[in-house]
């Protein structure tokens, strides 16, 4: 055990004073991947419950077609899909082939109320 500790310390000191570009590149890439994984696993930020948008729109479902309702249910499956939808259709103000313009504006307005929780 003592020999292993000495070997690790020697390796760290060697790499500190004589850095190897390939090894440091690999190390930094692995470190970034590890830190990203840890950040996702221990995320404590307040997040948007994507079903909240569905609940807000439910009273107005009588003005949506069946195809549009299915599209809304698909977009509210998770937070990522809500964010992607917002960035693609609401933020860029582009048309959605499956949703009428007025209904799209209503959806964007509803999502916009919670914009701070997912962007």
pLDDT for 6 beyond 90? yes
Residues 36 and 57 in one domain: no
Average pLDDT over residues 20-41: 84
User: Mean pLDDT across the chain, nearest whole number?
Assistant: 85
The string of DSSP letters for 44-110 reads -S----THHHHHHHGGGGGGS-HHHHHHHHHHTSSHHHHHHHIIIIITTT---TTS-HHHHHHHHHH
- Residue 60 belongs to what domain range? 51-118
CA distance 109 to 7: 60
In a domain, 56, yes or no: yes
Instruction: Write the pLDDT tens digit of every residue in 36-75.
Output: 888 777 766 566 677 888 889 999 989 999 999 999 999 8
The pLDDT, as a whole number, for residue 67 is 92
In a domain, 46, yes or no: no
User: Cβ atoms within 10 A of the Cβ of 118, count?
Assistant: 17
Total count of domains within the chain: 2
Average pLDDT over residues 73-78: 88
Query: Which among 87, 107, 110 has a CA at the least distance from the CA of 99?
Result: 107
In a domain, 69, yes or no: yes
The pLDDT, as a whole number, for residue 38 is 81
The pLDDT, as a whole number, for residue 112 is 87
Half-sphere exposure for 117 (CA within 13 Å, toward CB): 14
């Amino acid at each position: 055990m003592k020999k292993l500790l000495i070997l690790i310390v020697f390796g760290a000191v060697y790499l500190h004073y004589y850095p190897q570009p390939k090894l440091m590149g690999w190390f930094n890439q692995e470190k970034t991947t590890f830190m990203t994984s840890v950040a996702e696993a221990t995320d404590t930020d307040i997040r948007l419950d994507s079903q909240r948008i569905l609940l807000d729109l439910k009273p107005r479902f009588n003005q949506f077609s069946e195809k549009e309702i299915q599209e809304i249910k698909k977009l509210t499956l998770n937070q990522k899909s809500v964010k992607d939808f917002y960035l693609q259709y609401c933020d860029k103000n582009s048309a959605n082939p499956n949703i009428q313009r007025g209904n799209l504006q209503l959806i964007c307005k509803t999502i916009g109320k919670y914009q701070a929780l997912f962007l």
